[in-house]
Amino acid sequence: MITRGNPQLNRNGELIHLLSTEGLGKANINHILDTATNFVSVSDRDVKKVPLLRGKSVFNLFFENSTRTRTTFDIAATRLSADVVNLDIARSSTSKGESLLDTIDNLTAMAADVFVMRHSESGAPYLVAQHVPKHVHVINAGDGRHAHPTQALLDMYTIRHFKGDIHNLSVAIVGDVLHSRVARSNIHALTTLGCPDVRVVGPRTLVPSDMAHMGARVCHTLEEGIRDADVVIALRLQNERMSGALLPSSQEYFKHFGLTTERMKWAKSDAIVMHPGPINRGVEIDSAVADGPQAVILSQVTFGIAVRMAVMSIVAGNEG
């Protein structure tokens, strides 16, 4: 993975790319969340548009599948009045052997201003950010197991919206932490914002003890992990990233770590339940919880539009 320096900030500490929540300061994160607050109301207007990216071209490059991230970036860029190009990767010339950087050079020659990029290789957005001309901005929409910064930022926005000051909260992240770019990005964002109690919860095969070095408490039972939590974030079992048998079965996983109404009684009575999606009902979360009164899963999706509008408007407004 390429992580030399901090290529996402300019020499004034302003965001020019968004590659990871690691390396962002509290001020950077709060600036994005505060900017997003202003964009939430745009969605309630008859004309859901502001002219901030008029004349700019945003290219969505999703080398991995996506429903929420791709669509909300598309909506967000459209609401900022940008011209949006969704490259159909399956029909693109990458299938003929064109390299990632050659693809990027050709799209840059079409006057791209912002690349939104998801890739299965950790570090691919870093490679692109260090390759593009100074006026072009790169936003990581998820790279391998490494980072999913806009998901973490919309999660911070959701927590702040429903629970207020992050300084007073206990947040439990439950599930396949080992393979989760969302978990890593959330831990960095939560600790940077001053959350005093971040827990990662799951079986030893999916939550290694060394995750404690990131500033999270490691818990191997659900009861210990979510007891008195204000926020419970469930993660999907990422079978596509598991190289061996890390679990006996998904039924066995649900038996010990699945979120049910009964088990949610261990958390605070007003705890919220989050999930980045896609959810696997009956594996990491029971339908009664996913569709229940504590779930804010669809609010996360809606806030994702405003947060992505904020990220795009901020990076495009800063000089490299």
Interface contacts to ligand CP, rule CB under 6 A: 66-69, 142, 151, 276-278
Minimum Å gap between C-beta 298 and ligand CP is 12
Bridge partners, residue 147, by sequence: 143
Beta carbon nearer to ligand CP, 8 or 69: 69
Beta carbon nearer to ligand CP, 39 or 73: 73
Q: What is the spatial order of strands in the sheet that 170-174 belongs to?
A: 217-219, 197-201, 170-174, 231-234, 272-274
Minimum Å gap between C-beta 269 and ligand CP is 27
Strand, helix or coil for residue 73: helix
Bridge partners, residue 218, by sequence: 200
Minimum Å gap between C-beta 277 and ligand CP is 5
Beta carbon nearer to ligand CP, 142 or 149: 142
The CA distance from 131 to 117, in Å, is: 14
Minimum Å gap between C-beta 23 and ligand CP is 21
Minimum Å gap between C-beta 184 and ligand CP is 13
The CA distance from 271 to 9, in Å, is: 35
Number of H helices, E strands in the chain: 10, 9
Beta carbon nearer to ligand CP, 108 or 186: 186
Minimum Å gap between C-beta 47 and ligand CP is 27
CB-CB contact of 240 with 247 (8 Å): no
CB-CB contact of 206 with 175 (8 Å): yes
Distances in whole angstroms, Cα of residue 116 to Cα of each of 6, 42, 57, 87, 287: 18, 22, 11, 11, 32
Minimum Å gap between C-beta 69 and ligand CP is 3
CA-nearest of 234, 246, 241, 185 to 214 is 185
Minimum Å gap between C-beta 67 and ligand CP is 4
Residue written as token pair 């095969």: 205
Identity (one letter) of the amino acid at 136? V
Token digits of residue 253: 């996983």
Distances in whole angstroms, Cα of residue 180 to Cα of each of 114, 141, 186, 305: 25, 13, 10, 22
Beta carbon nearer to ligand CP, 108 or 150: 150
CA-nearest of 135, 156, 125, 117 to 35 is 156
The CB density around residue 210, as the number of other CB atoms within 10 Å, is: 8
Beta carbon nearer to ligand CP, 7 or 277: 277
Beta carbon nearer to ligand CP, 149 or 218: 149
The CA distance from 174 to 17, in Å, is: 29
Beta carbon nearer to ligand CP, 29 or 279: 279
